[in-house]
Amino acid sequence: MSYFQTEDRDGTIIVTLTNAERNTLNPELLEEGATLLQELGKNPPRQGVVLTGAGAHFTCGMDTKVAAALDEAGQERAVAGINAFCAALHRLPCALVCAVNGNAIGAGGIMMLCADWIYAATGNYKIGLPEAKAGLPFPPVPQVVLDYWLEPAWRRRLALSSMLLAPNEAIGAGMVEATVMADDLIDKSVTKAQELSDQPGFKACKRQLRARANAEIDAILAG
């Protein structure tokens, strides 16, 4: 079973996370996703990548039942998986747009912050970073992503209170650029990925913008 579906739409690769009803994460899924993203990084799609979730959820984060059942080796594997997945997502040299179709909880929020542009579908769902409530501290690479791409006051509020935001509230927190109608989410996200990609200096500017964060990520992975 593959946890990720891909579709090439006019040079833009749409990557869809799919795992049962809530699109929760587990070590096997994270390892598959990291491998897929690393391959996309080696051969970047001409018109960028759109990341979304299947069904009603973007992802509800780590599967807490799976996490609770992991032994020490399993826990280490899970942390290594989330570090590798987020690192590969953050290091994509091409345009990356997140098309948030529903609940984006915990690791889902981190995945959003790895993107160059984030659209969220209108709807009654939540976005947030409730690791404190779940008893799952941020692994090192997600912490770097938070440090660089979430404004300090919101980083404090979201990480320490486990508060969850409606899609329009997430705009004010800097986690979403705009909300769009659900039926238009993928089309608008593909269009945005192509608009970003068509700028002649996009890749160079993205490389400059992410250089410090990527250096910190590389140091974590090398350690």
Looking at every residue in the chain, the average pLDDT score rounds to 96
User: What domains appear along the chain, each with residue ranges and CATH number?
Assistant: 4-185+195-222 (3.90.226.10)
Q: What tokens were used for 204?
A: 């160079």
Gap between the Cα atoms of 204 and 217, Å rounded: 19
- Interatomic CA distance for residues 156 and 129, integer angstroms: 10
Which one-letter DSSP state was computed for residue 25? B
Question: What does the radius of gyration of the chain's CA atoms come to, in whole angstroms?
Answer: 16
pLDDT tens for each residue of 191-204 = 999 999 999 999 99
Q: Write phi, then psi, for 94 (nearest 5 degrees).
A: -95, 175
pLDDT single digits (tens) 176-188: 999 999 999 999 9
pLDDT at residue 217 tops 90? yes
pLDDT for 71-100, tens place per residue?
899 889 999 999 999 999 999 999 999 999
pTM here? 0.97
CA distances to 2, 49, 54, 152 from 41, in Å = 19, 10, 23, 29
pLDDT tens digits along 123-174: 999 999 999 998 889 999 999 999 999 999 999 999 999 999 999 999 999 9
